[in-house]
Structure 1
Amino acid sequence: MDPQVRQTNPPMMMNYPQPTQWTQQQQQQPMSPNQQYYHQQQYQQQQFVDNSCSGPPPPPPPSLPPQSNTMVAKSQSGDHTGSLTNQMTNLSLNNGQPLQQNDTLKSSLQNGQNVSSSSSLPSYTNQYPTPNSGATYADSQMPPPPTMAPNSLNYINQPSKQQEFQHQPPPPQSAVAAAVPGNWNQNPIKTTIQQQQQPVVPSLQPPTSSAATGYQSNNAYDGQPQQQQNGSLPLQPNYPQPSQNMYQQPNSYQPPQQPPMGGGHQQSMASMNHQYGSPYGMPTNRYGSTPTSPTGYGSMNPSQSPFNQQPQQAQNKLDPDAMPSVVQVILEDKTKYETNSPVLFTTAIPASVPPLVTTVMENGNQIIQDGGCASPLFVRPTIYQVPISEDIIKTTDIPFGMLIKPFDEQEVDRKIYVPISPSEIVRCNRCKAYMNPYNRFIDGGRRFQCSLCHHVTEVPQTYFANLDHTGQRLDRQQRPELCLGSYEFLATEEYCHNGVQNNRRPHLIFACELTETSKPILNILAANLVNIIKNFPRDSGNPESLPPMFGFLTYNSKIQIYDIVNNGHAHVICDLTTPFAPLNTFLVDPLIHMDKIEKFFEQLPQLYANEEMDMQTILGPVIEAALMSTQVDVNNWINKNIVNKVVNTGNQQSNDSIPVGKIYLFHSTLPTYGSDSDTPGRLKQKWTNSVDELRKLLGSDKEKTILSPLTNKYYIELGQKCVADYATGVELFLFPPLNGFLDVAILGELTRLSGTGSIFKFYNDFSDAFLIDLKYSLSSSFAFECVLKIRTSTGIRPNDYYGYFYSRSPSDVECAAINTTTNISVEFKYDDKLTEDEHVVIQSAILYTSLSGQRRVRIHNIALASCTQIGDLYRNACCDSIVNILARIAVNQLRNGDKTIQQTKEAIVSRVINILTAYRKHCAQPGTSLGQLILPEALKILPMYICGLLKCDAIDGGPEISPDDKAYAQLKLLGSFISSSQVFLYPKLYRIEYESESETDTLKYSQIRCSAYKLTSAALAYVLENGFYVMLYITSNGCNNVKFLNGLFGPNVDSATKIKMELPLPNLLTNESQFMHRLFKKMETERKCSYKIFIIRQGIDKTETVFRSFLYEDQKIVTRQAADSKLEGLSYVDLLCHLHKEIRVQLN
């Protein structure tokens, strides 16, 4: 078949050398801003190639092999020995060509030959039907930011502003086309750009860069991305397919607009007055008055406006607008994948760099189709081309790992479906890998060669099928395990506990503290649990299955277990030393006894309405008693014929099976009741006079004494018991009192080890948020009694795991319960050299029990291309995955007490320096000046994420937050997927304004860079989302806009001082109120959690400093007694300067 001809995407920046005459004119006479803008437009019209151009620009000089990177140019003085301030003036995207010494407005972008890596295996397409996506939120698509005024041109040499592309010339007729495979089932062929020559490069020198310097999934240096986006899909008669050429690029491509410019300088987070709590749980009564902000914690005069203040470091060093922007990268990636197809992205063999997770979330009505490798919703490696030698990985210091998310939220919404294969389970006899699309069948289909260990195994007679002329099985499209990257098998008895299959129905137990402070929680549960139970989640793979069983208990200094079936009688356990199960009918079937459940919850609040409750409570024995009660219960057996095997209560357990399920704990008091000898799990107060003593330890070398979970062995052992003996996960809903302390660092081990990792914290007015989070948690419950095993190609193996799990052996990861948000990261280690012409296969297999009680095996496969050059490694790196794993490593070291905060920060920055130094040393063009900071295109926003990591509360939190808040932040970051870790490390900041100057009722929002430099007084408000809560920051313009205030807070509010801060944001029928609530709902839907909304008025509330402390691009004033370190509170620009300085030291 003749290859198709496609139009090659232009690079993200195509700055060719400007005419000498223009350069001379610029040198002779300085230009005004308007003249600069005019010449910039003329220059771009002459030099930029239109995005509809089919072909690359002219080739570079043969002696300088180009590389796609981001470069910061040296100053006009050209002094390499001077200060870094004089050496770094502007940033541009450049293929390794040094910037001209006396021209800060131009750079040269050269594009080399496209190189492909041939594949030994064909690509497969998903022949299984995929359900259509549902409708999404009305405001889920972010509108483009407003265009800049011509006189605000500060973003040098970056064609990201919309107006720069409006007058481009038509594409030249001599554009060169690239040949791509015409069919996805053909073997990939090498793709080259005609009229260009392949330069000779050394062994460690990367191949020439792609013609496209955008994200790698569209690059043309290997054949796979072109297959993915331009190849036609072979249609099968039995399964619906998406339209052909769904990824054909449009004839005209317009990059997103660059947000407008601004200025400012960040203040640090203010330490909250102790009566107002800490940022993660700013209580409602902080709105009743303006809390004080001690000077030592970065207080500011409310009259000082944060808007349009030029950072001092930007004036002397680098222009902040010239730095790589996270917001811009997100917008560009979203624009690149804009399509009317129901399919956003299709995986291929080998896998290529997928869309950013933000693009996937913004396009929630589109799906990712399985084309032979698992969806990026399930697996995201840090690199998509694996070096054949460990020496290359050690040279670059890039972490070689992968994020594995066995289940995804879209499965709950039925947007995606992982098919259950009807086939028997076939595995390799040597490595025990499951059948996958990459195995090769030989001997007429009677044997197959394992894609991981290359061992040859006989095919069972019942699994045999003939081969076609290409060596593929004739039934390949009818078996998911032969054509898809993700699929499931129904497990046989050998995969079940003691060989007992389908034995127990999963259970959900609700345990509520019964003290004086927790009475409101009990009343809310009693009023809402009936409806929640009626809407219990069902197995998405088996909708007709039975719902989970239900149990309820309360506790204070004693334990009350309720026999709901028998009139709700309470069995009280007073002996806390050896808890036991008082009855064997604890669990209730909601299908049979719903009337008794309703009656029980109607009477529950009245039972304790007039009783004086205890002020102290327990916790550990509660969990033990609940676990024992589920073990001996006779109501949760699916097969009633084996009920007689469970005849005893107490500590005697059945050896035939274990229960599976979850315990939901609603807790509000530190468990201090009793003594250490007679009350297991009792926690001691870690302070003498007040909890404020603990705050002073945060950020110091002594903070591990209050944040390390290793200081209490009981809850670690209890969490392990939940996994090994009872397969029951734990989720914590915490309601600490004002300025309270619950020791989240220790209690959190219950959730981390059991696999859920779910901790929710609420303060005061928690009712709505509490119920939202509870419903989200119940709907995300997906699997129980899980065992995860990762198998890899010969030569590499799993080495370290990070996340929520318990591991009894180095090779297995166990979880009592897994949610759709649960994910685990793994780092790989080399055992031997890899084969150059073979794919690197990684297979994740999780054995689990579904909500219906079925035992299943879910498989996720991914095949990665191998490479021999460092350049391929950098071009195919995934920045988001790399940052996520680096953050987990840092948090894990802090929690275990292996390193101090300063040592952790130094280790993070040192690794980033190694990554960038290796790129500069091995991939930059020879002769490039040391005065230029060169960043890999795929990792150009890595420094910004690292800047956020160094400032986030999980790492840098000091006395301005509480110990529980820091422990909570560490646990969240330790197990967060990319969609969450992104917003932790770089909060989302939206500007709110009317769509036109006439101030219509319609508001709009646009995401801007997370810096005070971007705040303008013209905006009405700003909304900041940091992953823990949302802040609505009303500017002085918004405070004086009566129409905006009336629409948002009601007709009686015509001044910001009349806003009732003690009340939540009202939900009115006005356009302003509905718009704001849709935006907040969008955020909650993306994060699968509720958000507390805090209102801050400019110039009125001193909590303004809390808002400004999350502007991570700015300098942070250190609030703790930190050691003298150059890494404390660095701004984004300062961090780049520091990285550049250290890179130069290493190069010298």
Structure 2
Amino acid sequence: MSDYQLYHALGQGGPNDDPSNPNPSGQPVPPQFQQPGGPAPYQQTGANYNHNPQGQPQQYGNPQMGQPAPYQGQHDQGYATNPNQSGVSQDPGLASQMGGLGLGEAASHGRKKKKDRHAYHTVEAPGGSSAAFNGMPQGAVPASAYLNADPSAMPSAPGGQFMNQPVTPQMSQFPAAANAPFNPANPTSPVEFASRNGTADQAFGASVQTSAQGRVDPDQIPSVPRSRDAISQYYLSNVYPTFEHHLPPPASVAFVAFDQGNSSPKFTRLTMNNIPSTSDALQSTGLPLGLLLQPLAPLQAGELEIPVLDFGDVGPPRCHRCRAYINPFMVFRSGGNKFVCNMCNYANDVPPEYFCAITPQGARVDREQRPELMRGTVEFLVPKEYWSKEPVGIRWLFLIDVGQEAFNKGFLEAFCEGVMVALYGKDGSEDERKIPEGAKVGFVTFDKDIHFYNMNPALDQAQMLIMPDIEDPFLPLSDGLFVDPYEAKSNITSLLTQLPALFSQVKNPEPALLPTLTAALAALEKTGGKIVCSLSALPTWGPGRLFLRDDGKQHGDAEKKLFTTEHPGWRKVADKMVAAGVGVDFFLAAPGGGYLDIATIGHVSASTGGETFYYPNFVAPRDSAKLSQEIMHTVTRETGYQALMKVRCSNGLQISSYHGNFIQHTFGADIEFGVVDADKAMGAMFSYDGKLDAKLDAHFQSALLYTTASGQRRVRCSNVIASVSDNAKDCMKFVDQDAVYALIAKEAASKMTSNSLKDIRGALTEKNVDILAGYRKNFSGSHPPGQLVLPENLKEFSMYILGLIKSRAFKGGQEPTDRRVHDMRMIKSMGALELSLYLYPRMIPIHNLLPEDGFPDPESGHLRMPPSIRDSFSRVEEGGVYLIDNGQNCYLWMHAQTSPNLIVDLFGEDKDTLKSLDPFSSSLPVLQTHLSAQVRNILEYLKTMRGSKALTIQLARQGLDGAEYEFARLLVEDRNNEAQSYVDWLVHIHRHVQLELTGQRKKEDSGDNSIASNFAGLRPPYW
């Protein structure tokens, strides 16, 4: 495959350029800097993929049933077949009542043609609508929406700061007064707001009645795909300025953030960017107050690099009372001799070496030359007093299972190849370093015995040292275990190539994992580092041997005991690793999908901040590519070790809990990681210990102390600011939906070891009801009782909660314990982007792509992505082919009547039927066809929108492949996974909201009993 460019290059254009935008703004588009777009990816010589010779898109339909109707490219024409074509009758009475479910359209009483809705919603301004800007092209916000308004403190024109600037311009931030209010620029009057967004008395609502004869139109309920696609178009040509706009873009949208002193939402997301001043006001909303943190999140092309600052032996300036680090919101006074902490309001003396005069407005003269006073996220090099041990380049220790199962299933060979690719590239000839200077690697193999390897470059080949005494493991060598991978390249490649043959005749069936981890800890104890360990069988040999605990018959309270480990040896090793600054990533391949006791094994990786990559039914031809890519990602992503984190907040707030994969020894203590990487996220929940002053702002600062892979001890600080309001109604306008459901999910996952799954599902349902009932009761104004009123910023929240209830971690019914525990720990460490896809997968039809889909736009250079569709089998067409990606796996589902022409265009001329395809293929061949280039370009784009899991395709041919069951499970809007359909779920939630409003609601323990609601399945499920 040829090289390709990222498809998020900044171009020109904005919401006003969208001809389908029903709410165009009268303002001119602010000037934006632009980046030239490259040629179309995968444009092979001699092939023209950018136009169709006939001028029409190639359509692939059912050869027996005729061609399915192509998409017309119009917004909200359904993205799918007409509901009446699938045999679903529509009741005119209820359908007319439900017409009001459209965005910004009151309930109507007559049958009307479906309105051409767009994602630019018309909602009520005073009642908690999304007045805040989050990328949706809408009018400016009324001044009343922003408390503490101070227009003179902000740039004169939003977006103007980007005029004639390079891709990474220097910002001139306003000189802030002490505890300056945090407000966007250029607020507008309520009259202007109403003129741009329609009348203020319209509500996002629906007339929901539980009648067995009526049916709700699923097209009228909030659509996750439509919301994602609409906002993503805006951020293709616009930058997100972190201080001017209160509401961040959705997590699933690619955007370029410009750090203006408030940290990018890629690093930090607050659940509420306008915070109630009292605990009672927060409780009336039902929302959690918390911070989602991904401190080492990767940056996108065009974003400013994180500045690294060195203050020498004295270290960075800090508040003497609360120990907060210097940041843009600390204010200097007394001629520059004092700085006031924005967390605790303590006036500190400025160190002599840091002194600088201030302007009459109170800003330091050198402010613009001080990144710590201009940027929301910075890194400080710290002196020796911050060291736990001498920092060195990270040590990678690969522990390779060479037992019988690993050899038989090809896992050993695939893992060795993956390590070589991670270090030296696919053909082994790449000289570019994959790991930084100073980093070293070592190798250990194990079955019943443990084998260390002396990789000294002076040796002709690696030397094996066997340690048979696994009862008391020790380190048999000190020199030669860790080497520079490029100095010892010949020894390393020779060893990894020969390992499968070397152990082909040994085949010990029982690996001794815990003794191997103990020996690895001894090797890394002095320096810290990271262990990458493969395992393909239940470790039943030696100390810490495990047994088959899951017999499939334990449910309820007994089942939760299987979600954790009770083995003291494994807990002890995990604690020692964290103390030594060591973390573990596991690559687990279950024998035939059998039991591995991930609850015990994964406890080590979860406690140390590592990750578990799980292949429940590993098949080498299909899964080797995915394994190789994930090993490479593990080694090359930004990684730190010996890590501590602390979150500080303003007076009046306090940390109530942390959620994630780490160790916290006592309540209120710092959270500790053996390792931390770019994909890991954690949540911090806050509670009130007083009343917040609405005249001041609330401030939050996270500080991650860690050692980089190159061997530098640093602190990464991220600073977030939020306004404070006495009116909780105003706070509903600035809710971050992604942060809300992410923190709820992490909190629910942390309770799996103490609460039953039924109770957790019930609690999630109750939380959903509490939030919607609180909004309806306190903030939404007067609406008919039968109307379901959803907050504008939480329109899709109920769908995400339903996706969480349907996830493997929490779903009802039978589910292997290993799968549950793996997904539970994965949820605890997921970032916002990865969790968004996990709860609502992206599904794209590829059988009716337009000719320009999958190629860069000739004007902007951005890849034209086809619209995604709802995750429902009702949207699947006869003869259709669909990609569905949940951020963990990507399935290519092919209808039984898929056109032979499509199969040939995707897989080659020798493949013209579904049965002729290789069921174990994991990628598409590079063909000189228009469709092949389109789909491969789309897949390359999807690779940029993921977390730690590699993207390879898995075929799911209707009626042929077992992966078809996985495809069906991902259709989260249908009735499946022991839970309701999306429509039934909204009806169920609305019924409980009505009961809450009338005072008749009883807390339920689970939503399971309401699966058979009065509404029959509106759309036929997959089966």
TM-score normalized by the length of structure 2: 0.77
1:359 paired with 2:253, answer yes
1:785 paired with 2:642, answer yes
Maintained 8 Å contact 1:314/1:320: no
Please name the residue that 1:1078 is paired with: 937
Identify if the C-alpha distance between structure 1 residues 845 and 911 changes in structure 2 by more than 3 Å, giving closer, same or farther: same
Identify if the C-alpha distance between structure 1 residues 659 and 49 changes in structure 2 by more than 3 Å, giving closer, same or farther: closer
1:456 paired with 2:351, answer no
Please name the residue that 1:671 is paired with: 539
Please name the residue that 2:891 is paired with: 1031
Maintained 8 Å contact 1:804/1:975: yes
1:159 paired with 2:50, answer no
Residue in structure 1 matching 2:843, options 989, 999, 1002? 989
Identify if the C-alpha distance between structure 1 residues 459 and 777 changes in structure 2 by more than 3 Å, giving closer, same or farther: same
1:613 paired with 2:510, answer no
Q: Equivalent residue of 1:505, what SS?
A: coil
- Trace 1:626-1025 onto structure 2 (pairs within 5 A): 626-631=520-525, 658-673=526-541, 679-686=542-549, 693-694=551-552, 696-697=553-554, 700-706=556-562, 708-724=563-579, 726-761=580-615, 763-765=618-620, 766-809=623-666, 810-894=668-752, 896=753, 898-926=754-782, 928-956=783-811, 958-959=813-814, 961-995=815-849, 1005-1017=866-878, 1020-1025=880-885
1:345 paired with 2:240, answer yes
1:468 paired with 2:359, answer yes
1:8 shift after superposition: 14
User: Which residue identity lines up with residue 873 of structure 2 in the other structure?
Assistant: A
Identify if the C-alpha distance between structure 1 residues 771 and 1104 changes in structure 2 by more than 3 Å, giving closer, same or farther: closer
C-alpha separation between the residues in 1 aligned to 2:211 and 2:604?
A: 45
Maintained 8 Å contact 1:378/1:408: yes
C-alpha separation between the residues in 1 aligned to 2:595 and 2:865?
A: 40
C-alpha separation between the residues in 2 aligned to 1:1076 and 1:531?
A: 25
C-alpha separation between the residues in 2 aligned to 1:1096 and 1:239?
A: 43
Identify if the C-alpha distance between structure 1 residues 207 and 887 changes in structure 2 by more than 3 Å, giving closer, same or farther: closer
1:1050 shift after superposition: 2.2
Mean Cα displacement is larger for which, 212-221 or 807-816?
212-221
1:547 shift after superposition: 3.5
Identify if the C-alpha distance between structure 1 residues 373 and 997 changes in structure 2 by more than 3 Å, giving closer, same or farther: closer
C-alpha separation between the residues in 2 aligned to 1:487 and 1:1080?
A: 33
Q: Equivalent residue of 1:409, what SS?
A: coil
User: Which residue identity lines up with residue 389 of structure 1 in the other structure?
Assistant: T
Mean Cα displacement is larger for which, 808-817 or 1085-1094?
1085-1094
User: Which residue identity lines up with residue 971 of structure 1 in the other structure?
Assistant: R
Please name the residue that 1:480 is paired with: 371
1:407 paired with 2:261, answer no
Mean Cα displacement is larger for which, 473-482 or 566-575?
566-575
1:806 shift after superposition: 1.1
1:317 shift after superposition: 3.0
Identify if the C-alpha distance between structure 1 residues 451 and 523 changes in structure 2 by more than 3 Å, giving closer, same or farther: same
1:550 paired with 2:405, answer no
1:241 paired with 2:99, answer no
Please name the residue that 1:1143 is paired with: 993
1:232 paired with 2:126, answer no
1:430 paired with 2:321, answer yes
Q: Structure 1: any 5+ residue segments left out of the alignment?
A: 1-6, 13-43, 56-83, 106-152, 166-197, 200-204, 256-311, 632-657, 674-678, 688-692, 1119-1128
Maintained 8 Å contact 1:728/1:816: yes
C-alpha separation between the residues in 1 aligned to 2:633 and 2:103?
A: 46
Identify if the C-alpha distance between structure 1 residues 1134 and 599 changes in structure 2 by more than 3 Å, giving closer, same or farther: closer
Please name the residue that 1:532 is paired with: 422
**Cα deviations across residues 141-160 of structure 1 (Å, max 9, x unaligned)?**
xxxxxxxxxxxx54x5x622
- Trace 1:526-605 onto structure 2 (pairs within 5 A): 526-527=416-417, 529-530=419-420, 532-534=422-424, 546-565=437-456, 567-585=461-479, 586-601=481-496, 603-605=498-500
Identify if the C-alpha distance between structure 1 residues 815 and 225 changes in structure 2 by more than 3 Å, giving closer, same or farther: farther
Identify if the C-alpha distance between structure 1 residues 550 and 209 changes in structure 2 by more than 3 Å, giving closer, same or farther: closer
Residue in structure 2 matching 1:91, options 96, 100, 117? 100
C-alpha separation between the residues in 1 aligned to 2:887 and 2:463?
A: 42
Identify if the C-alpha distance between structure 1 residues 781 and 348 changes in structure 2 by more than 3 Å, giving closer, same or farther: closer
Maintained 8 Å contact 2:840/2:886: yes
Please name the residue that 1:507 is paired with: 395
Q: Equivalent residue of 1:889, what SS?
A: helix
User: Which residue identity lines up with residue 778 of structure 2 in the other structure?
Assistant: H
C-alpha separation between the residues in 1 aligned to 2:540 and 2:507?
A: 15
Task: Answer with 1 or 2: which has the greater Rg.
Answer: 1
**Cα deviations across residues 202-236 of structure 1 (Å, max 9, x unaligned)?**
xxx96898498985996513468996872633999
Identify if the C-alpha distance between structure 1 residues 382 and 664 changes in structure 2 by more than 3 Å, giving closer, same or farther: same
Please name the residue that 1:372 is paired with: 261
Identify if the C-alpha distance between structure 1 residues 415 and 770 changes in structure 2 by more than 3 Å, giving closer, same or farther: farther
Please name the residue that 1:183 is paired with: none
Identify if the C-alpha distance between structure 1 residues 526 and 159 changes in structure 2 by more than 3 Å, giving closer, same or farther: closer
1:321 shift after superposition: 0.6
C-alpha separation between the residues in 2 aligned to 1:602 and 1:755?
A: 30
Please name the residue that 1:1089 is paired with: 949
Mean Cα displacement is larger for which, 558-567 or 976-985?
558-567
C-alpha separation between the residues in 2 aligned to 1:414 and 1:573?
A: 51
Identify if the C-alpha distance between structure 1 residues 543 and 534 changes in structure 2 by more than 3 Å, giving closer, same or farther: closer
C-alpha separation between the residues in 2 aligned to 1:243 and 1:825?
A: 30
C-alpha separation between the residues in 2 aligned to 1:550 and 1:379?
A: 33
Q: Equivalent residue of 1:1073, what SS?
A: helix
Q: Equivalent residue of 2:696, what SS?
A: coil
User: Which residue identity lines up with residue 608 of structure 1 in the other structure?
Assistant: F
C-alpha separation between the residues in 2 aligned to 1:533 and 1:882?
A: 39
C-alpha separation between the residues in 2 aligned to 1:1001 and 1:439?
A: 47
CA-based RMSD of the aligned residues comes to 4.0
1:522 shift after superposition: 3.6
C-alpha separation between the residues in 1 aligned to 2:726 and 2:619?
A: 58
Residue in structure 2 matching 1:321, options 216, 219, 236? 219
1:826 shift after superposition: 0.8
TM-score normalized by the length of structure 1: 0.69
Maintained 8 Å contact 2:883/2:893: yes
Please name the residue that 2:179 is paired with: none
Maintained 8 Å contact 2:100/2:106: no
C-alpha separation between the residues in 2 aligned to 1:544 and 1:684?
A: 38
1:770 shift after superposition: 1.2
1:934 shift after superposition: 0.7
Q: Equivalent residue of 1:581, what SS?
A: coil
Maintained 8 Å contact 1:216/1:938: no
C-alpha separation between the residues in 2 aligned to 1:783 and 1:713?
A: 27
Identify if the C-alpha distance between structure 1 residues 1036 and 314 changes in structure 2 by more than 3 Å, giving closer, same or farther: farther
Maintained 8 Å contact 1:378/1:406: yes
**Cα deviations across residues 109-144 of structure 1 (Å, max 9, x unaligned)?**
xxxxxxxxxxxxxxxxxxxxxxxxxxxxxxxxxxxx
The alignment of Structure 1 onto Structure 2 pairs a total of residues equal to 857
User: Which residue identity lines up with residue 359 of structure 1 in the other structure?
Assistant: V
**Cα deviations across residues 161-220 of structure 1 (Å, max 9, x unaligned)?**
99x99xxxxxxxxxxxxxxxxxxxxxxxxxxxxxxxx99xxxxx9689849898599651
Percent identity of equivalent pairs: 25
Maintained 8 Å contact 1:491/1:855: yes
**Cα deviations across residues 439-479 of structure 1 (Å, max 9, x unaligned)?**
11111000111100001110011100000121100011111
1:239 shift after superposition: 11
Maintained 8 Å contact 2:757/2:810: yes
C-alpha separation between the residues in 1 aligned to 2:268 and 2:14?
A: 29
